[in-house]
Amino acid sequence: MKRLPTTLADGRQLIYFDERDDAVRDTTDRRDLPPPPPASQLRYDALVDEWVAIAAHRQTRTHLPPSDECPLCPSRGDRLTEIPSSEYDVVVFENRFPSFSDRPVELPPDIVARPAEGRCEVVCFTSDHNASFASLPPSRVRTVLEAQIDRTVELSALPGVEQVFCFENRGVEIGVTLHHPHGQIYAYPFVTPRTRSMLAAAGDRCVYADMLAAERATGTRVVAANEHWTAFVPVAARWPFEVHIAPHRQVPDLPALDDAERDAFGPLYLDVLRRFDGLFGTPMPYISAWHQAPVRVGRDVSYLHLQIFSIRRAANKLKYLAGSESAMGVFINDVVPEEAAEMLRSLEGVAPGA
C-alpha distances (whole Å) from 103 to each of 12, 95, 150 are 12, 13, 23
Instruction: Please state, in angstroms and rounded to a whole number, the distance separating the CA atoms of residues 172 and 255.
Output: 31
Question: Angle, nearest 10°, between helix axes 207-218 and 193-202?
Answer: 80
The active-site residue, picked from 180, 182, 291, 305, is 182
Q: Which of 265, 17, 13 is nearest to 127 (CA)?
A: 17
Cα dihedral 125/126/129/135 (nearest 10): -80
φ, ψ of residue 133 to 5 degrees: the values are -60, -40
Instruction: Please state, in angstroms and rounded to a whole number, the distance separating the CA atoms of residues 109 and 22.
Output: 54
304: CB partners within 8 A, 6+ apart: 246, 247, 251, 252, 253, 254, 256, 257, 290, 291, 292, 293
**Residue 48 carries which DSSP code?**
T
Q: Is the dihedral of CA 194, 196, 202, 207 positive or negative?
A: positive
Is residue 179 among the annotated active site residues? no
55: CB partners within 8 A, 6+ apart: 40, 41, 97, 98, 99, 116
Q: Which residues are known catalytic residues?
A: 182
